Homo-oligomer: A and B are copies of this chain.
Amino acid sequence: MTADPIAPSDTFPVTVRNRVRRLHERGHYDREAVYAVLDAGMLCHVAYVFDGQPYCTPTMHWREDDRLYWHGSSASRMLRQLKPGVPACLTVAHLDGLVLARSGFNHSANYRSAMCFGTAGIVDDPEEKARALHGVVNRFFPGRAAELRATTGQESKATTVIGMRIEEASAKVRAKGVGDDEEDYGHPVWAGVIPVRTVIGADEPCPRLKPGIDRSEGLAAYREGRRLDEALLETQDLYAAAEALAGGR
């Protein structure tokens, strides 16, 4: 966390909306815990309500301090309804392992998840939108925005960016071995954790790439075999540092 005197509280308020009820010992409300889950992911799911019907939309998110951004991936009909701002819940979850216990009841999963609540709205302000379109590239690929063919006005218009300040949030983490009932440990069945992780594969360069063009330094975090969550935490740090140097927000 920063020592900035105007930094918001290190902990999100706990309300009826974000309080972790089931297995509450797994719940966390501090920004550091919530941001660690958000920043380690590229894929999020956003819940909206339109005409009483809930929609769970997968999309890519990025974060600037306590503000989340994502691309509009729903129908324009829905996006129009977002104009005035609508309640939303953005969730990021990482599956880290399958936990095989000696009873069905104690089977579980290791995971990290964060649920964020707020009011989602379309980013209309031209300055904030330009910053967001720059951010979506540079957050994942530090320094890349300046290397690309510049964004046209028409492209900017055709892109819908949605923003939401995190009003309340909680993180939930399970990261441990099997928890069986004491009397079950003797039961003769294999028990343990089967870990899973999301990793980066070998580059697939565009077949029309001109000879002699290599990956820029900003892509260094994405190495074959590396965990994606680690690469994303690294690029988020690089991005935040570069933004701070540039005068930041």
- Please report A residues at the B interface, Cβ cutoff 8 Å: 17, 19, 21-22, 42-43, 45-49, 52-58, 60, 72-77, 87-91, 93, 95, 97-98, 100-105, 107, 109, 111, 113, 115, 117, 133-134, 136-137, 140-141, 144-145, 147-152, 155, 158-159, 177-178, 180, 184-210, 213-216, 219, 222, 228
Contacts and interface: CB of A to CB of B under 8 A. Distances in A.
A191 B206 contact: yes
Contacts of A216: 189-190
Contacts of A45: 45, 47, 56, 58, 91, 93
Given A190-B219, A195-B204, A54 B49 contact: yes
A74 B28 CA distance: 15
Given A60-B109, A145-B104, A190 B178 contact: no
**Majority-rule SS of A interface residues:** mixed
A195 to B, nearest CB: 4
B54 A48 contact: yes
Tallying the copies of this chain within the complex gives 2
What are the 5 closest A-B residue pairs judged by CB atoms, nearest first?
Answer: A195-B201, A47-B56, A47-B47, A58-B93, A47-B54
Given A54-B47, A56-B45, A88-B54, A190 B202 contact: no
The listed residue with most B CB atoms (<10 A of its CB), out of A22, A197, A203, is A22
A137 B107 contact: yes
A52 B214 CA distance: 50
Contacts of A74: 21-22
The listed residue with most B CB atoms (<10 A of its CB), out of A56, A159, A208, A215, is A56
A56 B89 contact: yes
Contacts of A189: 144, 147-148, 213, 216
